[in-house]
A = this chain, B = another copy of it.
Amino acid sequence: MPKVEVVERILSANDQIAAQNRARLDAAGVVAINIMASPGAGKTSLILQTIAALRDRLRLGVIEGDVASRTDADRVAATGVPVVQINTGGQCHLDAPMVSRALDTLPLADLDVLLIENVGNLICPSGFQLGQRWDVVVSSVPEGHDKPLKYPGIFTEADVVVINKVDLQPYLDYDEAVFRQAVRALNAAAPILALSCKTGAGVAAWADWVVAAVEKGRGV
């Protein structure tokens, strides 16, 4: 009987470039963390708090992704940390080629961790590998405790879930236990860390997660 050739599934063009990004980051000893959230959930604020908490312990770099504007990168640049702004020009998520071009301009040899702020969107970013080691989803209290039910894909894939803006809880009908239960129904393992980037409450536990994630990402 003639032999039947089977063409196995190969990586998409995006995932091929993501794998190249990852190899390049690994070679430089840089652990990349992809931060995803709705618009206005506090991704940039979390990055600024992370820089403040860890800049004496880790060498940080940042990629800021937005459809338009450079306001987020300007806020990060004010801290002195290396940062690149990607404007997607309408595309609803970052992709691996965009991150590849951003890596060209970052001093990778001088970094331990690269924080990548994805475009504000709870759906599209989860489908595109960038070269990251870890995926973070930030969900803020004013968005409501039902977000995992409505956007299950992104919560299912998360390595850690951050609840931001807990300082607003007294003014809102938000049940953190319901949120936690909904995440857990999708994702058995991801830690769920509640914090406020405004008051700083809970940021230390997040910073500890980042430090452990960098160590684990390097195989330390």
The residues of A with any CB-CB pair to B shorter than 8 Å are 38-40, 66-69, 71, 90, 92, 119-124, 140, 142-144, 146-147, 149-153, 165, 167-168, 171-172
* Docked complex Cα distance between A196 and B146 (Å): 20
* Docked complex Cα distance between A152 and B66 (Å): 11
* Docked complex Cα distance between A85 and B158 (Å): 27
What residues of chain B lie closer than 8 Å to A140, measured between beta carbons? 40, 142
Q: How far is the CB of A168 from chain B (nearest CB, A)?
A: 6
Residue ID in chain B nearest A124 by CB atoms:
B92
What residues of chain B lie closer than 8 Å to A124, measured between beta carbons? 92, 121, 123-124
Q: Is the CB of B71 within 8 A of A146?
A: yes
Q: Is the CB of A150 within 8 A of B92?
A: no
What residues of chain B lie closer than 8 Å to A168, measured between beta carbons? 142, 168, 171-172
Q: Is the CB of A39 within 8 A of B149?
A: no
With A92-B121, A119-B123, A153-B90 as given contacts, are A147 and B40 in contact (CB-CB < 8 Å)? yes
Residue ID in chain B nearest A172 by CB atoms:
B168
